Amino acid sequence: MDERNYLSTWQKYMPVIRLHLKRSLQEEQQFKLNITDFEAAGSRGKSGYTFNINMENGKVTNNISGSAVARDLYELLKADEAIKALLKEKNVKISVGKSFVLSIKTTHLSTYR
């Protein structure tokens, strides 16, 4: 299950993801991924590459175990010091839909719980 086929593919996108994560503090960010990069890494067939990663304070709050694409992205996010700093005290949702657009939406954690 833990093949990690998509690590090198996501690695190429990390500078862009880091930039968009920073910008997502002001407004939701979106950018198109190159589907052939992911198809070369591994075939997802009909299940496709869609996923949601919901993070609170840098920790995933939803189940991403069924998506190798999401798991590999999260592994790189939590290993990147600059990104870890951006995720502190924030709710971040990263998703990829059928149109292969990655979107990043960031909100500050509420101090009132």
* Partners of residue 31 on adjacent β-strands: 102
Mean pLDDT for the chain overall: 90
- First-residue to last-residue Cα distance in the chain: 37
Structure token digits, residue 96: 């990829």
**Chain segment 28-52, per-residue pLDDT in tens:** 999 999 989 998 888 766 567 899 9
| SS3 at position 65 | coil
Is pTM beyond 0.95 here?
no
